[in-house]
Structure 1
Amino acid sequence: MTQTVSATGVHPTALVDAKAELDSSVSVGPYSIIGPNVKVGAGTTIGAHCVIEGHTTIGRDNRIFQFNSLGAIPQDKKYAGEPCELVIGDRNTIREFCTFNIGSPGDNGVTRVGNDNWIMAYVHLAHDCMVGNNTVFANNTQLGGHVHVDDWVILGGFTVAHQFVRIGAHSFTAMCSLLFADLPPFVMCQGQPAQARSMNFEGLRRRGFSPERISAVKAMHKALYREDLTLEQARGQIASLTEKHPEAEPDVRMMLSFLEQTSPQRGIVR
């Protein structure tokens, strides 16, 4: 069931376009503006003074705090009004003053946010960013266009990622990290530009990784950062880890897939 401005949860001062599709359980705070191509799923709450526009689809049970701008056109001079999209999944928390832009025709035309993400204040997602599930973006995280962030990533405050950078699952950035290269899965980094410091062992323990899987991640770290190997040599050594650590086969496969997609020009955080 969808409703527009007459929905019970819409504040009288909010402006909701008659063509917008809001589930009847959605609440909209004072002075918020919702455009004609917006769809919002059940249980989502939208705070005061938000602007949600463009071809934006928002799933269920999201908490969108006050003063957010979602679905504005990309900050890309090549954009010429194409009907690109912003798609947000379920159960995300989006704190104050975030800006998420729609995609661009130079990519697949969609900026996408998955499920169960915790996104703090002043976060910027540029056009065509892809964010997975269960991530944490601390205050003032800034992503350039086409950045991909995999599941369970934690980005420290004031982290900045250059356009087209990929950030692997279970990785972690310290405050004020600056990423010009791909950050492999499990890696903790810090610096400007960012440098690898360790692996996210504590995060893996909290997520239920077994000692065997954590041992395999330690061996990956050693191959990538401790043995003075080329990236190709490190990939070969990582591939052999499944013989000693069969339980870690999905982790090894994920790391190898990530490294195979890294361009020689961009490389990985070292």
Structure 2
Amino acid sequence: MLRSEFELLLNRTLRPSCFKDYAPNGLQVEGKNQIKRIVTGVTANQALIDAAVAWQADAIFVHHGYFWKNEAPEIVGMKYRRISTLIKNDINLYGYHLPLDAHIEFGNNAGLATALGLTSRESLQSGVPLEESIGLVGELAEEMSLDAFQALIERAVQRSVLFERVSDGPIRRVALCTGGAQGYIDQAIKVDAHVFITGEVSEQTIHIAREMGIHFIAAGHHATERFGAQSMAKFLSEQSGLEAIFIDIDNPA
């Protein structure tokens, strides 16, 4: 597939024009014109790039790419090593941030919601349609004890989680927003969620949870954002005829 055709496929699927983002979505570093093998991953770190080189990939697709707002513009040091490795090996880098969080089938939030068995999904953001919302709220099939729900989320993200329990009450209504979205706890409160799940925690988040009576889970930024890159590898393999694999470069954060 030609590089331009590949980007059109990604843009048709993920609809980046619907989002006001913090980094460019789409092709970030240009490589060879013909694409046959794609590595997907969470973040375009050096280890992922080196793994892509070893696999002889033509392109890398990630959630966390380059050129973030307020980032230093100089291509030196770590940034130089990453980008120069891509250029020397003629590898295209594609980054999709908020569009990959929000996608109702392949997105990070959708993947976590599916792993938890959530139904009746709605937008976490008031006035924003579900397909453009970077968070969602859904229902468990039945009420679940706190211990049972902790076991469920830890199976889903394959790690232990920080679970701030504010009462003994069971969980049914779940709000979530993967990654570094602890500030969305206020939205979770507005939609009457019993628990809010995200990747990270700030000091003030715990106080908000305790005082507002909402359980809070920080399940890992990386762990909650594996879902999108994994889903896109499967989608690209099945729908485009390209070879695509997900490579996980673990990160405890």
Same fold (TM over 0.5): no
RCO comparison, higher one (Cα < 8 Å, 6+): 2
TM-score (norm 1): 0.25
Larger radius of gyration: 1
Flag the structure with higher strand content: 1
Flag the structure with higher helix content: 2
TM-score (norm 2): 0.26
